[in-house]
Every structure is written in structure tokens, then in C-alpha cells.
Amino acid sequence: MQAAENKVVSIHYTLTDEQGTTLDSSEGREPLSYLHGSGNIIPGLEKALEGKTAGEKLNVKVSAEDGYGERNEELVQQVPMEAFQGVDNVEPGMQFEAQAPDGNVLRVTVTEIGEEQVTVDANHPLAGHELNFDVEVAEVREPTQEELDHGHVHE
Ligand code: ZN
């Protein structure tokens, strides 16, 4: 069976950045399953998997644009330390959820701690990076009706 719209595709993958550093991998875990064509995974990877069958291996380079997007420096902001009341130790790398003015929930990462200000970055940690995926297709199957209705895979 080929990976196509509304098929459940399971893949093993290793994700590296431009320097060859491993950022994420399914090694030692269950393969990642997603519903093809539903935007469950990044567009560049989904496109490359189109038509692939179990056992096929591929190497996919995804530009930042087709991955997590370019970095947007407007998403880097200074917030007063008081905003972190109730948090014992604010440290770089910590992630928080913040409400944007439009009501969307943003996941922000603390990047710098000043005396009274904390710098937070709402860019996805992989924004602006070219992504390199080594992928092996583990399985392609029909979805259940419930998976189709929900638009995602149930493990
Ligand atoms: Zn569901």
C-alpha cells in the first residue's frame, strides 16, 4: 500500500540539523504514525512520503520554510520578572504557555534572564533551521473510521 491521502503511515526517523546534530529520533521507540494529508506532520516531509511503501528508505531535506517556518524576531520579547510569579527558578530553556493578544496560546522558551527582565522566544525551537530527515517507512495501512473522523491516528 502506498502512502496517500487518508492512509495511516508509520515511519522511523532521525532528524538532524545543518551540523548533523541529532535533534530527534524514533530510535528505540514505536514508529511515528500519522494520517497522510491531514497536516499532522510538517508539509515538506509529508510531501516527500507521498507514494512510498513499507520498507522504503528516504532522505529528506526540508527547508526552514517547509519545516517550522523562518524565525520571526518579533516573537522575541522582554517580559518583567513579575510575570513569572510562582515559578521558583526561571532558567534559560524553560518553556511556558502564554496567551497572545489574539487569544492564541503560544509556547515560549526562556532564552535569557536579566535583572528585572526575562527574554522569551515564541519561535518554534526549530524555526529557521533546515531539517534533514532519515526516514524508513514501517507501515502503511487504512485508517479506522474513528481516525478518519478525528483527522489523526489513534495508537
Ligand atoms: Zn481522536
Query: What pLDDT sits at residue 144?
Result: 97
Distance CA 64, CA 41 (A): 14
Give the distance (Å) from ligand 1 centre to CA of residue 46.
20
User: Which are the contacts of 94, defined by CB distance < 8 A and separation ≥ 6?
Assistant: 87, 109, 110
State the total domains in the chain.
Answer: 2
Whether residue 17 is found in the same domain as residue 48: yes
Residues 6+ apart with CB under 8 A from 72: 123, 127
pLDDT digits (tens, 9 = 90+) for 92-131: 999 988 777 788 888 899 999 998 999 999 998 889 999 9
User: CB count, 10 Å around CB of 152?
Assistant: 16
Neighbours of ion ligand 1 (CB under 5 A): 150
107/138 same-domain check: no
Domain, as residue range, for 54: 8-68+127-150
